Amino acid sequence: MKKIFLFILCLIPWFLSSLIPINLEYYYSLKLPFFTPPPIFYGIAWTITYIGIAISVYMLIREFSWKGLPNSYKKTLFINYIFNQLFTVVFFYLQNSFLGFISCLGTFVSCLFLYEETSNLNEKSTKYLNPYVLLSLFATILSLTIYIINTTP
């Protein structure tokens, strides 16, 4: 039971931004590139990704304890988390596609650092971050494209 509770503690924070109401009218008012996936993709892909992140963090906490984890890992995880969670606020709530791109770029870059930090601690837990690296790269490309095609005449 303790293990399940710890895993849930690792998972729940990643879903906090989903509590923020999103304005789909704003999203659909934008010009979207041809490679934009259907809306259902995001819910499925990010859920799988967040579960992977939670598994990775859970494995490290079980191995090292939270206090035993290096500060560099904790800082990287925190920075990545902030960039990740900010996207919903800046893109949908503030309706700012440029800041949405910056959030995606920050998520992707900090995700690479998180991947490296995790790899230094436990190679096995790194594989759970693979979907995150790929999805954050795709999100960065998509958000940049959305920004560009909606700001150029």
Give the predicted TM-score (pTM) of the model: 0.93
As a whole number of angstroms, the longest Cα–Cα distance in the chain is 57
| Domains of the chain: total | 1
Question: Using one digit for the tens of pLDDT, what is the confidence trace for 73-85?
Answer: 999 999 999 999 9
In tens, the pLDDT along 4-32 reads 999 999 999 999 888 888 878 999 999 99
- CA–CA dist 48, 96 (Å, integer): 26
The distance from CA 142 to its chain's CA centroid, rounded to whole angstroms, is: 14
Tell me which residue range forms the domain holding 95: 2-151
CATH number of the CATH domain containing 118: 1.20.1260
More confident residue, 1 or 53: 53
Are the CB atoms for 37 and 1 separated by under 8 Å? no
How far is residue 109's CA from residue 140's CA, in Å, rounded to a whole number? Answer: 10
